[in-house]
Amino acid sequence: MPEPALDTAAAPSHPILDRLQAQFANDVRETSLYRGDVSANIAPERLLDVARFVRDDPALRFDMPIDVTAVDYLGREPRFEVVYHLYSTEHHHRLRLKARVPEDNPSIASVTPVWVGANWLERETYDMYGIRFTGHPDLRRIYLYDEFEGHPLRKDYPKEKRQPLIGPGSRRGESVGDEHPYSTDLPPPPRGKGMLGADLMRVQVGPSHPATHGTVRMVVDLDGETIVNADVQVGFLHRGFEKECESGFYYQAIPYTDRLNYSSAILCNVGYCMAVEKLLGIETPPRCQFLRVIAGELARMADHFLGIGATALELNAFTPFLYLLESRELVWDLVDAICGARVTSNYVRIGGVSADLPDGFAELARAKIAKALKLLDDAEKVLTENPIFRARMEGVGAIPPEELIAFGVCGPVLRAAGVDLDLRRAQPYLVYDQLDFDVPLGTRGDNMDRYLVRLVELRQSARIIEQCLGMLPAGPIDVDDPAIRWPGKSKVFGRMEELIDQFKLVTEGCKPPPGEVYVGTESANGEIGFFLVSDGTGKPYKCRARTPSFSNTQPLARMIQGRLIADLVPTFDMINLIGGECDR
């Protein structure tokens, strides 16, 4: 039974914790400052008060819910720990709130009245751990289906467990007992609520629809062509990423992170490996950091090329789609040359990267990126001022920035609304503090701004790569520690000690000390964060991925409410939902 040994011996002092303790002296049970992560364990009864306080207090201002999840400490009482990650867009600091709930009555107050974006996150936590959030407006399962038995991320849920089949003759529609009191079936649309007393029409968009890339189902109630209500349902690509990570060594999860955001896989690799490195408390050599930035920015370019191209395609502009896919192909040639695969790159390693740049990479990169940007110019000439494109994009999908923040939206969608939040600038990691680049902000927050922000980001990524290629230092690409990164093969082939190191590392994995960390990095669509809990063994006790597509898709229903059904398509596209990342 793992007991997370956080350094709680001496109560750590931190302005955020001091402020919290001054207000809630008796309800803050435990605080910690492990690896720089500010964390406070609070009494579950006072959760809502604490949440309101940390949101409204001018010195704290935690206005953005980054993540809600739980950790199952099986065998310990109280068994579950609900974990809230918060971010302040004003002060750019982070806080982790934790509250323990017992096994026999796993319920806690919902924080949706404080942060509306906690809605889906709490639904996911309910789905995966069976924790009931009292006062939640809509506590349905989000990823799994009604008939699913049990809660898969609980530690006593076996990975191999089979589930009942659903289909004709199954238990669909029946009450599934006390275990799942909430059905995912929607109530029928209210009758006679449309124009002139007509009935609303319910239309299912998706899960497989030509206008949606990625499998997502949108149930829209229409009055004529106006969307009255929309329910966005995700989870069709759910494959148990977190359970899978918990059952393998740390290094074995890296290929799985490729499959989160499959159009910018390297950025997910980087986020995961940085989280493990923080857990281990190591720093990677400078050359490795530059390589990660180069590869990551290439991936960001590929993602934006696809995002803009797919939007153009779904608005019937087929030609720019072809130009942009050609651009992306050129970028992927570079990714391929670095790491050997276009999509499933599997490039970054814990404490290093898998390979150095190939010979002559700088010239190749300059030539290919110049060609890709030329094609981008062409696509831009076709799209940006085209009246049809503008009519579909301008003024569509905008909601106020405060609301976006409360939903936990990040990345280009948030920056298009004029909020200066780019983690590469706000909390520089790797070598981003040595680089010179612009962070584009929009003014109106509509789809046009989201498109224009992505255009500028593409060119800035190219600029970052150019700078990195010029500044690339010589030196090792891995940490020199045989307990973390396996030794060079020439030593393994010839020497006994290194051979033993290799055997130990492969069969036991690297072993971070017990503790928990959260690392958020800026991926192409926003903040991708990994929350890792280690119990001192070679496998993560808990590996949670906070993905931008999930939080960005949540306000989609709100964005398209009251708009025409045709506005659904560009809004959905500019959110750039990546199914693998949203559904994990």
Partner 1 sequence: MATRVVSVWRPRPMQQSWGRTAWAVVTGMWVTNRHFVRNLLGFIIRKPTTFTVQFPEQRLEFPNAFRGMPVLVQMDNGKERCVACGLCEWACPTDCITIFPAETADEIERYPEVFDINLSRCMFCGLCEEACPEEAIVMSQNVEVAVYSRRGTIWHKEDLLVPVSQLGKRLQHLHRGYDR
Residue with tokens 């079936």: 185
DSSP string, 445-479: -SHHHHHHHHHHHHHHHHHHHHHHHHH---S-SB-
339 near partner 1 (CB under 8 A): yes
Residue with tokens 């993602």: 303
Given 436, 470, 474, 496, the residue binding partner 1 (CB under 8 A): 436
200 near partner 1 (CB under 8 A): no
203 near partner 1 (CB under 8 A): no
Tokens of 127: 């789905």
**Of 4-12, 261-269, 442-450, 538-546, which part binds partner 1 (CB under 8 A)?**
442-450
Our CB check for partner 1 shows the closer of 437 and 550 to be 437
* Binding positions for partner 1, 474-493, rule CB under 8 A: 476-478, 486, 488-490, 492-493
Q: By rule CB under 8 A, what string of x and - marks binding of each residue 236-265 to partner 1?
A: ------------x--xxxxxx-x-------
Size of the site for partner 1 (CB under 8 A): 72
Give the SS3 label for residue 134: strand
Least CB distance to partner 1 at residue 431 (A): 10
Given 55, 424, 511, 542, the residue binding partner 1 (CB under 8 A): 424
Our CB check for partner 1 shows the closer of 182 and 262 to be 262
502 near partner 1 (CB under 8 A): yes
Our CB check for partner 1 shows the closer of 13 and 344 to be 344
184 near partner 1 (CB under 8 A): no
Our CB check for partner 1 shows the closer of 47 and 353 to be 353
Tokens of 215: 């499998």
**Of 3-11, 107-115, 199-207, 438-446, which part binds partner 1 (CB under 8 A)?**
438-446
160 near partner 1 (CB under 8 A): no
Specify the length of the chain in residues.
584
* Binding positions for partner 1, 310-329, rule CB under 8 A: 319, 323, 326, 329
Our CB check for partner 1 shows the closer of 77 and 160 to be 160
**Of 183-191, 355-363, 512-520, 562-570, which part binds partner 1 (CB under 8 A)?**
355-363
Sequence-ordered list of residues with C-beta below 8 angstroms from that of 18, at least 6 positions apart, any chain: none
204 near partner 1 (CB under 8 A): no
What is the C-alpha separation between 67 and 141, in angstroms, rounded? 17
CB atoms near residue 419 (< 10 Å): 20
- Across-strand partners of 570? none
What is the C-alpha separation between 222 and 245, in angstroms, rounded? 41
Starting from the edge strand earliest in sequence, which strands make up the sheet with 28-34, in order?
Answer: 28-34, 37-42, 94-101, 80-87, 64-72
270 near partner 1 (CB under 8 A): no
Our CB check for partner 1 shows the closer of 15 and 358 to be 358
Least CB distance to partner 1 at residue 326 (A): 5
**Orientation angle between helical segments 286-314 and 568-575, nearest 10 degrees:** 170
What is the C-alpha separation between 498 and 511, in angstroms, rounded? 18
Strands 37-42 and 94-101: parallel
Given 372, 435, 517, 519, the residue binding partner 1 (CB under 8 A): 435
Give the SS3 label for residue 393: helix
Our CB check for partner 1 shows the closer of 184 and 346 to be 346
Our CB check for partner 1 shows the closer of 422 and 516 to be 422
Our CB check for partner 1 shows the closer of 54 and 294 to be 294
420 near partner 1 (CB under 8 A): yes
Given 1, 187, 385, 496, the residue binding partner 1 (CB under 8 A): 385
Least CB distance to partner 1 at residue 246 (A): 13
DSSP string, 14-72: -HHHHHHHHH-TTTEEEEEEETTEEEEEE-GGGHHHHHHHHHH-TTT---EEEEEEEEE
> Contact, 330 vs 369, CB < 8 A?
yes
**Of 22-30, 153-161, 265-273, 452-460, which part binds partner 1 (CB under 8 A)?**
452-460
Our CB check for partner 1 shows the closer of 254 and 280 to be 254
Stated as kind and residue range, the H or E segment containing 494 is: helix 489-494
The per-residue b/e assignment along 277-304, b for 16 or more CB within 10 angstroms, e otherwise, is bbbbebebbbbbbbbbbbbbbbbbbbbb
Least CB distance to partner 1 at residue 528 (A): 19
